[in-house]
Amino acid sequence: MKKLLLILAIACSFNLFGQSIDTAAVRSAIERQLTSYPESTLQDVYKSFYQEHFGPGHIISDTASARRYLMKELSEMGKTASPYFEPTGSQGDYVRVHLSAVADSLITVEQLLDAFVRSANSWQEPTVSWLEKWGAVVSIIQANKMELEGFETDLPLLTEAAQNNQAVHHSRRYNEAYHPHYRIVERSIFESELKPTLK
């Protein structure tokens, strides 16, 4: 435990970052998250910034399986309180496109799936490590005394996850309050292909 907290403390030193992390943008993104989704926990903040850092995830070679899973999720989802789209993290390099946009016939399954798969397969590793970025996020939450349910309990678990570049699910509180269903799309693909029909 002490080792993990020491790693986090080192990562939280802003001198380490130089100009790589825009701390004002990080703070604004956290405030946006807590305003839009007040039931968010530290785990949900972690997830948003993780998605910005790593994009949709691993390379997707089996698009048929990805399509089946998307169709299954569409058939099972109920009404959500989410907008059609929203940025991840503080830079907006990736966008969450909510499945309600497909359910409301604004975009097709094929459009979203194609954008999602291409976004996953075009990911490039950022220059700042995930642990450094997560350290900045935690420091800003603490410095600004942002209230998050279960912060002290979640912090060491999420610090360990960050050390291993590990993804997490949304918290139970978030899932129960907002019923999220979305796919992650790279910003330029979203802007040119999906956003025009979602305004």
Residue closest to 149 by CA, chosen among 166, 171, 120:
171
Cβ-count burial of 64 within 10 angstroms (0-12 exposed, 13-18 middle, 19+ buried)? Answer: exposed
Residue closest to 126 by CA, chosen among 15, 13, 25, 17:
17
Rounded to whole angstroms, how far apart are CA atoms 45 and 40? 7
6-15, 45-54, 87-96, 114-123: least confidently modelled range: 6-15
Tokens of 147: 């209230």
Check pLDDT > 70 for residue 164: yes
One-letter amino acid for residue 3 of the chain: K
Rounded to whole angstroms, how far apart are CA atoms 70 and 7? 38
Compute the average pLDDT of residues 134-158. 95
This prediction's pTM: 0.88
pLDDT, tens digit (0-9, with 9 covering 90-100), for 108-134 = 999 999 999 999 988 888 888 999 999
Q: What is the pLDDT of residue 87?
A: 96
Q: What is the pLDDT of residue 28?
A: 96
Rounded to whole angstroms, how far apart are CA atoms 164 and 179? 27
Check pLDDT > 50 for residue 90: yes
Rounded to whole angstroms, how far apart are CA atoms 85 and 101? 8
pLDDT, tens digit (0-9, with 9 covering 90-100), for 31-81 = 999 999 999 999 999 999 999 999 987 667 788 888 999 999 999 887 766
